[in-house]
């Protein structure tokens, strides 16, 4: 960055009402307006809608076929998000959203900084009377806000479609669980938004950062490829054996490695929040643990009990998000920007 840019006065921008407003809010407002008019928003909304409505249709048909048996079952409305056709577990709303939603984060972040640099507008932007960190903070805030609007809109359409197909309304407890799951989804997408921002800072070309981000998403967010990669690594670390104890130990190693992937954390947390009958997410590693697990009852958990069960997952996703954004922030603040 030039010396003239570094010594530019740092003030707050004045909004239309005459008050003082932080610089990052000015950047965020401009970026949010640009996102609302961008083609990528509507393309990604279509992708997210298709990814959710297709499994939702199959789940609704399955519930309608079992209407008599499901009439007295609790959390019937939430079953729309966790049911899938037999043999096609991937056709679940929560899993499909978990695969497609990260594209929202990558789509609004892969060119956040390097796009400005490529067009030559970054030096002029940084020469304005704002702090340098207002640029990256404002861009991240605008991306997160537009993603939140997109997710809430898509989930509202899904809920309306479900009520129309089933003719039932969600209870207060189901609404709270659904709202908590949407919050978890926003956090999960924020992780990919921070990761995309990091790529846009450290990689000069937007096309290259998009390819790298899609490659990471392909092997991490899609369950089949992530499990294949983890199974190969787990086979090297813990090859297992012919005894039941050795096989359980190998399975425990594989589950531990899978939980290093944010997609696994999101899927497990989603299953617990959307299904009150799920009371455990750990995999038994010994014969004694298997016997204890088989003797456990399956009571209906309240929302706070389910949230306590997935609290480590939420903390881990939050820490990963903060870590990715902190790396992007530190790298951007140290980069030299020439006119």
Residue at 250 is within a domain? no
How many angstroms separate the CA atoms of 27 and 137, rounded? Answer: 8
Higher pLDDT, 295 or 165: 165
Comparing CA positions, the residue from 336, 339, 328 lying closest to residue 137 is 328
Give Cα 58 to chain centroid, integer Å: 23
Residue at 283 is within a domain? no
Comparing CA positions, the residue from 250, 215, 257, 214 lying closest to residue 109 is 214
Residue at 274 is within a domain? no
Q: Report the percent of the chain where pLDDT is more than 90.
A: 17
For the stretch 27-46, pLDDT in tens is 888 888 888 888 888 887 78
Higher pLDDT, 325 or 128: 325
For the stretch 76-119, pLDDT in tens is 778 777 776 665 666 677 887 888 888 888 888 888 888 888 78
209 is written with which tokens?
Answer: 């950062």
Question: Where residue 251 falls among pLDDT bands split at 50, 70, 90?
Answer: low
Residue at 288 is within a domain? no
CA distances from 314 to 59, 66, 194, 311, 326 (A): 27, 34, 16, 5, 18
Mean of all residue pLDDT scores within the chain? 76
Give the structural domain span for 55.
Answer: 3-10+21-221+324-334
Question: Where residue 7 falls among pLDDT bands split at 50, 70, 90?
Answer: very low
How many angstroms separate the CA atoms of 81 and 95, rounded? Answer: 9
Residue at 146 is within a domain? yes
Residue at 266 is within a domain? no
Residue at 56 is within a domain? yes
pTM above 0.85, yes or no: no
Among the ranges given (156-160, 315-319, 334-338), the one the predictor scored with the smallest mean pLDDT: 334-338
User: What is the 8-class DSSP label of residue 283?
Assistant: P
Residue at 72 is within a domain? yes
Q: Provide the domain count of the chain.
A: 1
pLDDT of res. 240: 60
């Amino acid at each position: 960055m030039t010396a003239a840019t570094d010594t530019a006065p740092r003030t707050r921008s004045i909004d239309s009402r005459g008050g003082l407003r932080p610089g990052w809010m000015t950047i965020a407002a401009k970026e949010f307006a640009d996102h609302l008019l961008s083609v990528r928003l509507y393309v990604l909304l279509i992708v997210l809608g298709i990814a959710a409505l297709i499994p939702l249709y199959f789940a609704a048909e399955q519930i309608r076929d079992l209407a008599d048996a499901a009439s007295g079952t609790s959390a019937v409305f939430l079953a729309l998000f966790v049911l899938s056709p037999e043999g096609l577990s991937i056709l679940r709303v929560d899993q499909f959203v978990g695969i497609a939603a990260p594209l929202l984060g990558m789509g609004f972040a892969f060119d956040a900084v390097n796009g400005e640099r490529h067009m030559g507008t970054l030096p002029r932007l940084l020469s304005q009377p704002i702090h340098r960190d207002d640029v990256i903070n404002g861009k991240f805030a605008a991306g997160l806000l537009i993603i939140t609007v997109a997710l809430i809109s898509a989930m509202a359409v899904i809920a309306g479609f479900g009520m129309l197909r089933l003719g039932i309304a969600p209870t207060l407890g189901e609404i709270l669980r659904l709202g908590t799951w949407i919050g978890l989804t926003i956090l999960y997408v924020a992780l990919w938004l921070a990761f995309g921002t990091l790529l846009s800072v450290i990689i000069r070309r937007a096309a290259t950062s998009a390819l790298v981000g899609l490659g990471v998403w392909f092997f991490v967010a899609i369950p089949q490829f992530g499990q294949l990669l983890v199974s190969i690594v787990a086979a090297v670390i813990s090859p297992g054996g012919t005894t039941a104890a050795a096989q359980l130990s190998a399975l425990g190693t594989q589950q531990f490695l899978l939980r290093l992937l944010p997609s696994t954390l999101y899927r497990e947390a989603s299953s617990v929040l959307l299904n009150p009958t799920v009371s455990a997410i750990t995999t038994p590693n010994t014969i004694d643990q298997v016997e204890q697990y088989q003797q456990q009852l399956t009571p209906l958990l309240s929302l706070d009990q389910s949230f306590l069960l997935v609290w480590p997952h939420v903390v881990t996703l939050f820490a990963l998000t903060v870590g990715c954004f902190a790396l992007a922030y530190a790298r951007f603040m140290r980069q030299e920007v020439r006119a």
